[in-house]
Structure 1
C-alpha cells in the first residue's frame, strides 16, 4: 500500500513539474524563434505532447528509483526521444541566421526572455551529461562534453542556423556537469536490467 501511495505522489509531482517546465519555461522560450513558433503552431498538441513526455520520463524514472533497478529499454526510449527533441531545438530554430557572441556575460541582464533561455540551455543538457556519466570517467566526460558542445555551436554558426555563443558553451557544460554528477551519484543505487 505504501508503494502505491508513493507512486501516486510521484505521478502527481512529476506531472506538476512537467507542466511548469514546459508551459512556463520551454514553450515561451521556443516561441521566441519564428521557425519553432511556426512548427509549434502547425501541430496544435505540441505543448501537450511535451508535457506528457517529460511527465512520463520523470515518473517512470522515479518508479525505477524506488525499486532500485533501471530498465535498459527505458533508457533507449528516453534517449531516442530526448536526442530527437534536442536536435530539433538546436538545429531547426533558425533559418539563415548567423551570429557570433564572444561576450561570456551576455546572459547577465534583467530580461526575462534571456534568463529563461539561459535556464533552458542548462536544463537541455542535463540528460546528455547523465548519458555520458553512465560510462565516462571525469576526464573523458569533460573532453566529450566540451567537444560535443563546441561541435553544436560550430555547426549552428557554420550552417547559418544559430549563434556561436561563449555563454551557451558554459551554460550547456553546466547542464552536462549536473547530469554527470547526478548520474555518478545514482549509479550505485541502480541495477541495470
Structure 2
C-alpha cells in the first residue's frame, strides 16, 4: 500500500511539475518567437503533448530510480523525443536571422523574460549532460559539452537561424554540468 501511495504521489508530482514548466515557462518563452508561435498554433494539442511527455518521462525516471533498474528502451524513447524537441527549439525559432553577442550576461537585460529564457537554456541541456555522463570522464565531458554547444551556436549563426551568444554557451554548459553531475551521483544506484 505504501509503495502504491509513493507511485501515485510521484505520478501527480511529475505531471504537476511538467504543467508548471510547460505552461508558465516554456510555452510563453517559445511563443515570443514568431516562427515557433506559428508552429505551436498549428497543432492544437502542443501544450498537452509537451506536458504529457515531460510528466511521463519524469514519472518513469522516478520509478526506475525507486526500483534501481534503468531501462534501455526508456532511454532510447526519451532521448529520441528530446533530440527532436531540442532541434525544433534551437534551429526553427528564427527565419533568416543572424547575430553575435559577446556578452556573458545579456539575459540579465531582458527583464523577467530574459531570466526565464536563461533558466530554460539551463534546463534544456541537463539531459544532454546526463547522456555524456554515462561514458565520459570529467575532462572528456568538458571537451564534448563545449564542442557540442559551441557547434550549435555556430550552426545557428552560419545558417541564419539564431544568435551566436556567449551567454547561451555559458548557460547550456551549466545545464550540461548539472546533468553530468546528477548522473554521476545517481548512476551508481543502478550499477548495484
Classify the TM-score, shorter chain.
over 0.9
Match of 1:183 in 2: 183
| RMSD of equivalent CA atoms | 1.0
CA distance in 2, matches of 1:62, 1:137: 25
Output the CA distance in 2 between the equivalents of 1:182 and 1:144: 17
Measure, in 2, the Cα distance between the counterparts of 1:61 and 1:191.
Answer: 16
Aligned-pair CA distance for 1:148: 0.2
Matched, 1:34 2:34: yes
C-alpha displacement at 1:29, in angstroms?
Answer: 0.5
Q: Does 1:101 align with 2:106?
A: no
Aligned partners of 2:53 and 2:82: how far apart in 1? 9
**What is the CA deviation profile of residues 62-108 of structure 1, one whole-angstrom value per residue up to 9, with x for unaligned ones?**
01111000100000000000000000100000110001101112122
Cα offset, 1:109, TM superposition: 3.0
TM superposition shift of 1:151: 0.3
Q: Which has the higher helix share?
A: 2
Q: Distance in 1 between matches of 2:100 and 2:112?
A: 22
* Match in the other structure for 1:91: 91
Trace 1:96-135 onto structure 2 (pairs within 5 A).
96-109=96-109, 111-135=111-135
Residue 63 in 1 paired to residue 63 in 2?
yes
The Cα shift of 1:14 comes to: 0.3
Relative to the length of structure 2, the TM-score reads 0.98
Q: Deviations over 1:144-173 (max 9, x none)?
A: 000000000000000000000000000000
Give the alignment's TM-score, normalised by structure 1. Answer: 0.98
Contact 1:99 1:157 in 2 (8 A): yes
Matches of 1:31 and 1:107 in 2, distance apart? 17
* Number of residues of Structure 1 aligned to a counterpart in Structure 2: 192
Any gaps of 5 or more consecutive residues in structure 2?
Answer: none
User: Where does the alignment leave 5 or more consecutive residues of structure 1 unmatched?
Assistant: none
2:136 is paired with a residue whose SS is coil
Kept in 2: contact 1:70–1:191 (CA 8 A): no
